[in-house]
Amino acid sequence: MKVTIITIGGKFEADWNTAIVIPAFEKDFPIQSELLSEELDMLVQSIIDREAFSGKEEEVFFIPTHGTQYAGIILLGMGEKGKIYEEKTRRAGGIVANCARANKISRLVFDWSNLNLFYIPSVVEGLILSLFSFDKYKGDSNKGDKVNITGATFLTRPDENIERVIKVINDTVSVCNSVNMCRTLVSSPANELTPESLAEFARTMCDKVELKCKIVTKEEMEEEGLNAILAVGKGSSREPYLILVEYRHPDYEGELVAFVGKGVTFDTGGICLKPRDDMHEMKYDMAGAGVVLGVLYALGELKPKTRVIGVIPAVENAPGNNALLPGDVIRTYSGKTVEVLNTDAEGRLILADAISFAYKKYSPNTIIDIATLTGGCITALGHFAGGIMGNDKQLVESLIQSGEKTGERLWELPLWSDYEKLVKSEVADIANIGPKGEASTIVGGIFLKSFIEGNTKWAHIDIAGTAWGVRHIPYWNEKYPTGFGVRLLTNWLISKSQS
């Protein structure tokens, strides 16, 4: 999608596939717009007079026009005047995109002359994210007649910050493309996106944006002693891999950040088999891995001054004849032993080895893991926030702040020492689950915390409720994964590099 900014009086292209977008605050009438002729202005006012449009937040009204250079006018409700912020404008972008596609509009011209220039990037964000679809496996006759928005023009008043905003818009487009890349990965069926093909995807991606990539094979993991990853993967005929992706700006010698993403390409639950209802959604259990790849891809495009290592344990959890059994004890890469009481709590096992590997091989200052770890996170927070825990208050708060900025909200859960008693084992150093129905999301965090060594700062983000199935947010279609975390972690890294 091509995005342009022009000042009042500037020329722009418009045709029968173009709609004017006029933002309006609640009951702030009459509407003033540089793009409306006297005749169109009267048409808009008649709609308002009939109280068909009031300007309430997330309200939208499409007015077809005849005999003009436009196909129509989209009235966009912005809610109470004076209460405007990034998430509101991001959702407004999604609302406009959905309205435009429903009315076969492919080009948009926004009258932004009465609004702050710096909110344009978040509108663009909402537009791009809302346009995501996944129809790779559909025949042409089943894809439908969807219209894509190919261009968005913003009419503004002269401002010395226009060039600066254009740079932010270009970066926003790159990040949103990375999000949608992640969403495509997460949408892919498990017979196509296996641990091996995920590793190959990572290698190809790294070649494209000049990142370093190393793939650790099953044989190499056996030599290293990555026994937890191997144990989870041994029930499947598809071999596990450990994917390592590195970004390093040539002029940066500062702190190293490790992102660890859960890459279970399909989770049957193993021997502790999941119920059949909605099991097809377990192809999404590699969403954390998708987020890490999305962030690294964005870094390769934006090239901020930072250093990052992405660590992705990629496995398939299946109940084969050699599968991990309840009661098994694993000696993890760290040397700590784990009693496996539930083979469906496999994500924390592979993350434990990946975290220890990152610490031993790369000595990062900060480790952040992201995973669809616990259904309990959905019970606690629903689909509107991810859970976050960590051992460093400043780190956790900075991630929460980035989430507020990107609309990917996080809610901190405690890691009090009392919870450590819940994962005590009679036969090993630690058990992989706690008592049934008791603080399951926190127990997952407590388990991972036990594998953090030295003075490493660490945070754990549980995206079980936000990786897919999110409703009522206009730029996220509930049919598709969200890519939750890509924008958040990219924002956090860039903010960190600029501070």
CA 464 to chain centroid, in Å, comes to: 12
Cα separation, 392 vs 378, whole angstroms? 24
CA separation, residue 144 to residues 19, 41, 103, 153, 481 (Å): 22, 35, 14, 27, 20
User: Is the Cβ–Cβ distance between 387 and 413 less than 8 Å?
Assistant: yes
The position carrying tokens 């060594």 is: 453
Is 485:463 a contact under the CB 8 Å cutoff?
A: yes
- Look at the chain and count its residues: 499
Among 183, 307, 348, 496, the active-site one is 348
Residue in 82, 169, 71, 65 with CA at minimum distance from that of residue 117: 169
348 annotated active-site = yes
Half-sphere exposure of 362 (CA within 13 A, CB side): 26
Cis upstream peptide for 30 (omega within 30°): yes
Helix axes 162-187, 287-302, angle to 10 degrees: 150
Largest CA distance in the chain: 81
Closest C-alpha to 297, from 366, 213, 357: 213
Phi and psi of 154, rounded to 5°? Answer: -115, 120
Q: Where are the alpha helices (DSSP H) in 76-161?
A: 86-102, 120-130
Check if 143 is active-site.
no
> Comparing C-alpha atoms, which of 335, 336, 314 is closest to residue 432?
336
Cβ-in-10-Å burial (0-12, 13-18, 19+) of 94 comes to buried
**Nearest of 485, 474, 484, 496 to residue 97 by alpha carbon:** 474
For residue 366, the one-letter residue type is T
Catalytic residue among 101, 214, 274, 336: 274
CA distance 483 to 485: 6
Spatial contact of 292 and 223, defined as CB atoms under 8 Å apart: no
Catalytic residues: 274, 348
